Amino acid sequence: MTDTMIITKKNETSLYIDCEPGIMYELADFFCFFVPGYQHMPPFKSKIWDGKIRLFDLRSSTLPVGLYKYVYEFAEARGYNVLTNNSDYYSFPDAADVVDLESITTFIEQQTQLTSKGEVINPYDYQLQAISTCLSDRRKVIISPTASGKSLIIYLAIRWFIHNIRKPVIIVVPTTSLVEQMYTDFGDYSEFDQLFDVEKMCHRIYSGQDKKVNKPITISTWQSIYQQPAAWFQKYGMVVGDEAHNFKAKSLTTLMNKCTEASYRFGTTGTLDGTKTHKMVLEGLFGPIHRVTTTKALMKSGQISDLNIKLLLLKYSSEECAEVSRGKTRMTYPEEIAFITQHDRRNNFISNLALSLEGNTLVLFNLVEKHGRPLFERIKAKVEAKYPGRNTYFVSGNTSVDIRENIRSIVEKEADAIVVASLGTFSTGINIKNLHNIIFASPSKSQIKILQSIGRSLRIADNGRSAALYDIADDLHWKSRKNHTLGHAAERIQIYNKEMFTYKVIEVPLTT
């Protein structure tokens, strides 16, 4: 039967596809994509890699289980038949049991006692629907915007799983800060719960801590465990990848592929990067995408702050524009970044802006030593001269987890602190519930970093005030020639339009 494909579930990670060689090569081509930005990557430049990622392995005839539905799309478009073989593993993704909303609600009422900051809480309808969908389908990429209660969704799904399936769970996160934050959130939700003691139930792994686990829930950074042997992962029946947009690296996919017995697998993220490659990789590891809600919907319902975006378009002198963007002498992107991040009037403007804003302010930068630290020192000096009672904080990748967590806790209790932080540490996963302003001090076009950073300011503050984003853009164009970072600003505007955020472009002369 040359037109038939036979699928066998090899384990909870891989499908084995038996078919004619010609179909195998078609499959390989169908599941082959260029990696975004491959042209700039050293392996491509060195001609040792063609810039493509291949999700169907021709050598083993295997495909990630999460791409199961695409095999049918492939076959239907070409008139091929698809048959499935039973195996020792749970049947195929479209044959899962339904865990309806009523049973989820009953479980929460009878088996949990949910609180937050000592107050009784109830899940929102969209959170209950997300839990029901995930547990029913067993595999999902959950897109849940910042401040939508993603950690509560994870917590309740795990509580149901441990109660009903009685197998260990592993939660994989990208940073040590998120290990502690997830642990703290679980402790907050279960503070008065007689059936769940976070210290007895959760084992944390990072920075060389003990990898011998005897508790039902493991919370770990991926860096701490990805080199563990496959047997170490066999005990887990559920794997949760928090901040799943990070799961593109080979070490992360290697980790997921070792979880061969985890029939429940969920990836959670606030946003994807918009590329087909990213979407397919994540669906292969975790399963189909489920959007829980949107930032705009949360604003409309009053669950998060309204957002006022001001794109401050800095206008430079004609001499500076010519230096950056003119003809054959046009600066490269790294040269332009060095020019603007070390520009005295630009940094003076940013520091004055930070001091002028009311409420807690987060200033985000990319380059630590060349931009972030000098900017912080400038802001700190001005604060000490004009507002000696106002606190300033600096956070980068070198700041310890304990200090980061301490700063986060302190800022939540303050009214006018300034935090100067690197995008890598504060754009993803860090929750500050009393943040009023964000300043993008460094240019970026990454959809993930932009939306995650915006999410830092959208949690309702105690005074209920709106959040404000000040997006610093640099107009250094020369005649019809645009500078690199001005193009990035245009891409950020496209993201704002896509998310239906309101924004205003304000020109700011930077010539004196």
What pLDDT is attached to residue 79?
93
Q: Are 464 and 480 within one domain?
A: yes
Which whole-number Å values give the CA distances from 471 to 138, 170, 486, in the listed order? 40, 38, 12
C-alpha 104/C-alpha 220 separation (Å) is: 27
Strand 503-509 to 307-315 pairing: parallel
Q: In this prediction, what percent of the chain has a pLDDT beyond 90?
A: 57
Strand 238-242 to 119-120 pairing: unpaired
Q: Are 36 and 159 within one domain?
A: no
Mean pLDDT comparison of 39-53, 100-114, 249-263, 424-438, highest-scoring range:
100-114
Which whole-number Å values give the CA distances from 217 to 69, 169, 293, 385, in the listed order? 30, 5, 27, 49
What pLDDT is attached to residue 191?
96
Mean pLDDT comparison of 91-105, 208-222, 345-359, 464-478, highest-scoring range:
345-359
Q: Are 414 and 276 within one domain?
A: no
3-state helix, strand, coil in the chain (%, to 5): 45, 20, 35
* Residue 488 located in a structural domain: yes
Residue 73: half-sphere exposure toward Cβ, Cα within 13 Å: 6
* pLDDT single digits (tens) 125-178: 999 999 999 999 999 999 887 778 899 999 999 999 999 999 999 999 988 888
User: What pTM was estimated for this model as a whole?
Assistant: 0.77
* pLDDT single digits (tens) 462-498: 555 677 889 999 999 999 899 999 999 998 898 888 8
Q: Which two tokens stand for residue 171?
A: 């939660």
Q: Are 286 and 350 within one domain?
A: no
The CATH number of the domain where 406 resides is what? 3.40.50.300
Buried b (16+ CB within 10 A) or exposed e, 357-392: bebbbbbbbbbbeebbbbbbebbbebbeeeeeebbb
User: In which domain, by residue range, is 231 found?
Assistant: 96-293
C-alpha 383/C-alpha 390 separation (Å) is: 7
Q: Which two tokens stand for residue 48?
A: 């040792």
* Residue 279 located in a structural domain: yes
* Residue 288 located in a structural domain: yes
* Residue 298 located in a structural domain: no
What pLDDT is attached to residue 429?
46
* pLDDT single digits (tens) 309-337: 999 999 999 999 999 998 878 899 999 99
The arithmetic mean of pLDDT across residues 275-302, rounded, is 84
C-alpha 67/C-alpha 17 separation (Å) is: 12
Q: Are 67 and 171 within one domain?
A: no
The arithmetic mean of pLDDT across residues 205-218, rounded, is 89
Q: Are 250 and 308 within one domain?
A: no
C-alpha closest to that of 153 among 195, 115, 123: 123
Q: Burial of 77 by CB count in 10 Å (0-12 exposed, 13-18 middle, 19+ buried)?
A: exposed
Domain boundary among 79, 94, 109: 94
| H-type alpha helices, 31-165 | 42-45, 68-78, 101-111, 125-137, 150-164
Domain boundary among 26, 59, 94: 94
Q: Which two tokens stand for residue 55?
A: 């999700």
3-state per-residue secondary structure call for 55-84: CCECCCCEEEHHHHHHHHHHHHHHCCEEEE
Question: How many helices (H) does the chain have, and how many strands (E)?
Answer: 21, 22
Q: Are 243 and 366 within one domain?
A: no
C-alpha 281/C-alpha 265 separation (Å) is: 14
Q: Are 79 and 100 within one domain?
A: no
What pLDDT is attached to residue 455?
63
Give the count of domains, the chain.
3
Domain boundary among 52, 74, 94: 94
Q: Are 104 and 80 within one domain?
A: no
Q: Are 173 and 265 within one domain?
A: yes
The arithmetic mean of pLDDT across residues 210-228, rounded, is 93
* Residue 366 located in a structural domain: yes
Q: Are 272 and 126 within one domain?
A: yes
Q: Which of the residue ranges 10-19, 254-263, 365-374, 412-421 would you say has the lowest mean pLDDT? A: 412-421
* Residue 252 located in a structural domain: yes
Strand 169-173 to 238-242 pairing: parallel
**Interacting residues of 48 by C-beta distance below 8 A, sequence separation 6+:** none
**Beta strand extents in 316-413 (DSSP E only):** 361-365, 392-395
C-alpha 143/C-alpha 175 separation (Å) is: 19
Q: Who wins on pLDDT, 339 or 40?
A: 339
Q: What is the dihedral of CA 238, 240, 241, 244, to 10 degrees?
A: 110
* Residue 495 located in a structural domain: yes
The arithmetic mean of pLDDT across residues 377-382, rounded, is 96
Residue at 60: amino acid letter = S
* pLDDT single digits (tens) 429-452: 455 667 888 899 988 776 666 766
Helix (H) or strand (E) holding 419: strand 418-422
Task: Note the maximum CA span of the chain.
Answer: 82
Residue 233: half-sphere exposure toward Cβ, Cα within 13 Å: 26
C-alpha closest to that of 509 among 325, 313, 340, 310: 313
Q: Who wins on pLDDT, 502 or 239?
A: 239
C-alpha closest to that of 259 among 214, 226, 213, 216: 226
The arithmetic mean of pLDDT across residues 72-88, rounded, is 90
pLDDT over threshold 80, residue 303: no
* Residue 460 located in a structural domain: yes
Q: Are 110 and 89 within one domain?
A: no
What pLDDT is attached to residue 423?
80
pLDDT band at 459 (very low <50, low <70, confident <90, very high): low
The arithmetic mean of pLDDT across residues 293-312, rounded, is 82
The CATH number of the domain where 10 resides is what? 3.30.780.20
The arithmetic mean of pLDDT across residues 345-373, rounded, is 93
Phi-psi region of 274 (alpha: psi -120 to 50; beta: other; left: phi over 0): left
* pLDDT single digits (tens) 200-209: 999 999 877 7
The arithmetic mean of pLDDT across residues 236-260, rounded, is 86
- Count CB-CB contacts under 10 A for residue 106: 11
